[in-house]
Structure 1
Amino acid sequence: MHTHDGTSRANRDTRREFLAAAGGVTAGIVATAGCLGTSDRVRVLSAGSLAVVLEEHVGPAFESETGISYEGEYHGSNIVMRMIEDGTKHPDVVVSADVELLRDRLYPDRAEWDLEFAANEVGIVYNPETELGARLEADEPWYEVFADADADEIAISDPDLDPLGYRAVHLFELAEHRYGLEGFRETMLERTYWEPNEPQLLTGIEAGNRACAVAYRNMAADHDLPFRALSDAYNFGNPEYAEEYAEASYTTEDGYSTVGTPTIYNATVRTDADNPEAGREFVSSLGTASSLLEAHGLRVGDSLPRGNGDVPGAIEL
């Protein structure tokens, strides 16, 4: 079982090992690096939930259109920011799953603007051949299904490393208030498995080792797994519910305070990027890739893309 101040001992050891290695070993899918000059490549350090769509779809389309080689690396957004702050990584482009996280951690020294380009929603990805998955498939209330779960049957992304993780905590808190579920948030924090490597969140479900995970809709689409949609009141997918989302909070182990917000991705070019021109081209391509992004489970709609700060004129809005 987990303890209140962290995860189970084995799980915490896994997280420590992951963090120790993260500076030198890429998590998830990574393009081959090191063989090209900076003039013909763009290096992107991105939120792990976009690993598949960027690596397999947006990146290749960008390469085909521009002739610039795409190199992507994917981690939880908190890790992304930490790598940039401590100088471990030097990407041209930074992509975050939480707009305020990027602005809080990179403005004004490492970035001066960003482009919001896609939105997402939180739900439950599940294996219908498990007991919990079968109950979700039968449309039982998800919080009743979760309340009956054994330890580690449900996975969440590590809330200390990743916005998807702390959004899972926000979800549990909002559900507790909405349905009068006393102690639900803390019970779920103790009972869930915390995955330190966001791109690997659904691996256990695919292997049959876990029943379900709190994940984004696009991740279910990427892995062709069933997705249980949740109410807009707590799926972090509808900006009209921003005030309700903000009623939930979580403070990471390194002291970063979060509140519930709509799930919107933003991207920027670092002020000291090696190839800022290629970086701006790539960010601009994100702003015009709405059909490709929507085809892989993301939301764009009429309100995006949207700029913040002094967005370069070369980037289409």
Structure 2
Amino acid sequence: MFNLPCKKVSIFFLLVLLLTSSFLSSVRSKELIMFHAGSLSIPFKALQESFKSYYMERFGEEVSFRSEISGSIEAIRKVTDLGKRGDIIAVADYALIPQLLFPKHASFYILFATNEIVLAYSEKSKYRDSINSQNWYDVLSKEGVSFGFGDPNQDPCGYRSLMVIKLSEFYYGKPVFNSLIASNTNITSLNCEIHVPKIIKVNSRKIVIRPKEVDLAGLVKSGALDYLFIYKSVAKQHGLGYVELPSEINLGNISFDNIYERTIVFLEYIGSKIKGIPVVYGIAMLRDAPNRDLALDFISYMLSEGRRAFIDNYHDFLEKPIAFGEVPKEIERLVEVR
């Protein structure tokens, strides 16, 4: 008789548990698979979190993300060479989408944000107090000074760093590429074309290369590396100081696209030539997207209220994103179709 209240309490909590489990199981969950550039990591993380809240509030469904972060070329090769399935791919060089994914793997793409190349440093970098936009190449040439960039074979920031250095020769009238790159690697240049071999060899006391440029930010912070060619947004996200390079060479000003296109990089790794163009990010839904409707909802959200995630993380989001190809009706109103 004295055990009766305890039994009632136990039954009550059992009922609560069953009702809670029933409610949780009624909330459906969806997963979005994404491949994206390393320089998009921070804004995409913020975007994904805000999209989760938006989707739950509007549709009562949970969304999870399976994101694979890499250099943009490596992200594309996961689809084209490795046959990985995914919903969305976002790259730091929009031109890679029509060049390497069309028409088999994607039918449309959207240009959505811009950036520029800067030379980043930390408080531990040598000559940080004297380096500027007119002497940076001399500083990098000094004995004991090291610098780095992303792997050109995997990462657009890597081959763009080479373009910046090549454009510097025309701008300053000095053999900057030979002094910094040709003398310290097996990357070569003839006239305006840069040749990047499959296997890059470097003078490791002078140059450090990693699969993507964000991998080098920690080395600069620690003082293990003095300088880093990197996107301006990423330098600011990681609290690094930076030298702003002239617009004629930083690949960040569309007004100078006729100058940028003077440089061409041949990547032996993929057997393709990449022309110098302004830094513009691109996003596409993959043709075999297992979650097509969710992917389009995500892209629509990114192009509208979700753009805040990029603006808050120092990306210049296009006022009217530009779309090419077979643009789905669901997002036509959010873009300028060309």
TM-score range, shorter chain: 0.7 to 0.9
Which residue does the alignment assign to 2:149?
A: 156
- Against the structure 1 CA distance between its residues 133 and 294, is the aligned structure 2 distance closer, same or farther, given a 3 Å change threshold? same
Kindly indicate whether the alpha-carbon contact (under 8 Å) linking 1:51 and 1:199 is maintained by their aligned counterparts in 2: no
SS at match of 1:135: coil
Partner AA of 1:78 in structure 2 = I
Which residue does the alignment assign to 2:324?
A: 308
Kindly indicate whether the alpha-carbon contact (under 8 Å) linking 1:92 and 1:276 is maintained by their aligned counterparts in 2: yes
1:175 paired with 2:168, answer yes
- Against the structure 1 CA distance between its residues 102 and 132, is the aligned structure 2 distance closer, same or farther, given a 3 Å change threshold? farther
- Against the structure 1 CA distance between its residues 187 and 82, is the aligned structure 2 distance closer, same or farther, given a 3 Å change threshold? farther
Counterparts of 1:169-248 in structure 2, within 5 Å, are: 169-182=162-175, 184-189=176-181, 190=184, 191-248=206-263
Kindly indicate whether the alpha-carbon contact (under 8 Å) linking 2:169 and 2:177 is maintained by their aligned counterparts in 1: yes
Which residue does the alignment assign to 1:259?
A: 275
Question: TM (normalized to structure 1)?
Answer: 0.82
Partner AA of 1:297 in structure 2 = Y
Distance, in Å, in 2 between the alignment partners of 1:291 and 1:174 is: 33
1:65 paired with 2:54, answer yes
Which of 291, 294, 297 is the equivalent residue of 2:308?
Answer: 291
Q: Mark the structure with the bigger radius of gyration.
A: 2
- Which of 225-234 and 92-101 deviates more? 225-234
The alignment covers a number of residue pairs equal to: 276
Distance, in Å, in 1 between the alignment partners of 2:77 and 2:32 is: 20
Which residue does the alignment assign to 1:129?
A: 124
Kindly indicate whether the alpha-carbon contact (under 8 Å) linking 1:132 and 1:211 is maintained by their aligned counterparts in 2: no
Structure 1 residues 21-75: Cα deviation after superposition (integer angstroms, max 9, x where no partner): xxxxxxxxxxxxxxxxx961111100111112212x1111111111322232211
- Unmatched runs of 5 consecutive residues or more in structure 2: 1-27, 57-62, 185-205
Which of 127, 140, 144 is the equivalent residue of 1:146?
Answer: 140
Kindly indicate whether the alpha-carbon contact (under 8 Å) linking 1:117 and 1:286 is maintained by their aligned counterparts in 2: no
Kindly indicate whether the alpha-carbon contact (under 8 Å) linking 1:237 and 1:263 is maintained by their aligned counterparts in 2: yes
Distance, in Å, in 1 between the alignment partners of 2:327 and 2:237 is: 31
Partner AA of 1:281 in structure 2 = D
* Structure with a larger share of its residues in strand: 2
Kindly indicate whether the alpha-carbon contact (under 8 Å) linking 1:239 and 1:262 is maintained by their aligned counterparts in 2: yes
Which of 258, 269, 273 is the equivalent residue of 2:285?
Answer: 269
Kindly indicate whether the alpha-carbon contact (under 8 Å) linking 2:125 and 2:220 is maintained by their aligned counterparts in 1: no
Distance, in Å, in 1 between the alignment partners of 2:143 and 2:259 is: 27
Distance, in Å, in 2 between the alignment partners of 1:58 and 1:146 is: 36
Structure 1 residues 213-271: Cα deviation after superposition (integer angstroms, max 9, x where no partner): 00001111221111221111111111111111111121112222112111111111111
Give the CA deviation at 1:292: 2.6
Kindly indicate whether the alpha-carbon contact (under 8 Å) linking 1:75 and 1:199 is maintained by their aligned counterparts in 2: no
Which residue does the alignment assign to 1:101?
A: 96
Give the CA deviation at 1:139: 6.3
Partner AA of 1:119 in structure 2 = T
Distance, in Å, in 2 between the alignment partners of 1:117 and 1:95 is: 10
- Which of 158-167 and 189-198 deviates more? 189-198
Distance, in Å, in 2 between the alignment partners of 1:256 and 1:201 is: 26
